[in-house]
Amino acid sequence: MNWSRCSRTLLILLLLAAVAVPAAAITASSSDVPDQQRVGEEERATITLEDLYEDGTNEWTLRGRTRLTNATWTVRKVTLNGDTSSQTFTGRSFETAVSSANNTERVEVVVRGRAPRVESFSYDPPQRFEFARLSKVVGENVNVVDTWEVHHYTDASQRARSAIDDAQPVVEGAGSQQAREQLNRAIQAYESGEFGLARDLASDAESSARSAQQSSRTLRLALIGVGVVIVLALLAGGVLYLRSQSGPGDPLG
């Protein structure tokens, strides 16, 4: 065995493992990023960053970006003794320096803006846009701290989605291939931006599914009825047969 080659291989693996170990992450939290946002509607959210220097980097650049339109950013840096300094930026991105030399303990980022137009509609998963992305920049290295995405919609697209949502459990419960194909056409229309057609197709799919369910129930009841008639006929036939076989002194006679 070539121990020199094995040693080199082991050294390379150890180096790769060391590179792969992630640096301690900055903690990012927000409780008010919206789940969804109407196109053109303004929303705001506050994102708090803590554990700013856990990887040993005492100076770095915070970079933010968003697809919100008319976006504004307010960045508040809070020091160990509670003092606060604020910066305001406009536009879809910003950069600001973060340094332990300034005793900055945490950073609060407030982003405000309007949801952009939808470039491509998708039913599942729902179309989303980048509400905010915050990154830590050190030299040429850019590490994403976190990304927040939000479902955006128009009034027309939301009505179409609601119609499809309402029809889906009915179609799935009916087991009708025709209704399923109609619902799939409704989804295709939604994703093409034909929201009126999508609503009509979803409604047709739901009606078709309910008709299939009703037909299934009617058939089931009919089969039960036929079964009962057959059982009664067999019982009656059995009684008549027993009577025909009984003698004069037989109680059945």
Tens-level pLDDT at each residue, the chain (253 residues): 444 444 454 444 444 444 443 444 899 999 999 999 999 999 999 999 999 999 899 999 999 999 999 999 999 999 999 999 999 999 999 999 999 999 999 999 999 999 999 999 999 999 999 999 999 999 999 999 999 999 999 999 999 999 999 999 999 988 888 999 999 999 999 999 999 999 999 999 998 878 755 654 554 544 454 454 465 556 655 556 566 666 555 554 4
Residue 72 placed within a domain: yes
How many whole angstroms separate alpha carbon 116 and alpha carbon 139? 32
Domain boundary (131, 153, 175) is at 153
pLDDT of residue 193: 97
**Contact (Cβ atoms closer than 8 angstroms) between residue 39 and residue 118:** yes
Residue 9 falls within a domain, yes or no? no
Give Dmax over CA atoms of the chain in angstroms: 119
- Identify the pLDDT of residue 110: 98
Q: Quote the CA–CA distance of 130 and 116 in Å, as a whole number.
A: 10
**Is residue 113 a part of any domain in this protein?**
yes
Give the whole-angstrom CA distance, residue 106 versus residue 49: 6
90: three-class secondary structure by DSSP: strand
Give the amino acid at 126: P
Same domain, 36 and 147: yes
> b or e along 61-93 (b: 16 or more beta carbons within 10 Å of the residue's beta carbon)?
ebbbbbbbeebbbbbebbeeeeeeeeeebeebe
Domain identity same for 132 and 34: yes
- Answer for the pair 148, 31: CB distance below 8 angstroms, yes or no: no
Q: Say whether both 38 and 140 belong to one domain.
A: yes
Q: Is 38:74 a contact under the CB 8 Å cutoff?
A: no
Q: Do residues 43 and 115 lie in contact, with contact meaning Cβ atoms separated by under 8 Å?
A: yes
Pairing, β 141-153 against β 36-38: parallel
Instruction: Look at residue 207 in the predicted model and tell me its pLDDT.
Output: 84
Residue 8 lies in a domain: no
Domain interval for residue 136 = 23-153
**Overall domain count for the chain:** 2
Let me know whether 45 and 165 are in one domain: no
* Whole-prediction pTM: 0.74
Helix (H/G/I), strand (E/B), else coil: 67: coil
- DSSP-derived 3-state class of residue 51: coil
In a domain, 226, yes or no: yes
* 236 and 146 within one domain: no
Structure tokens at 128: 């989303």
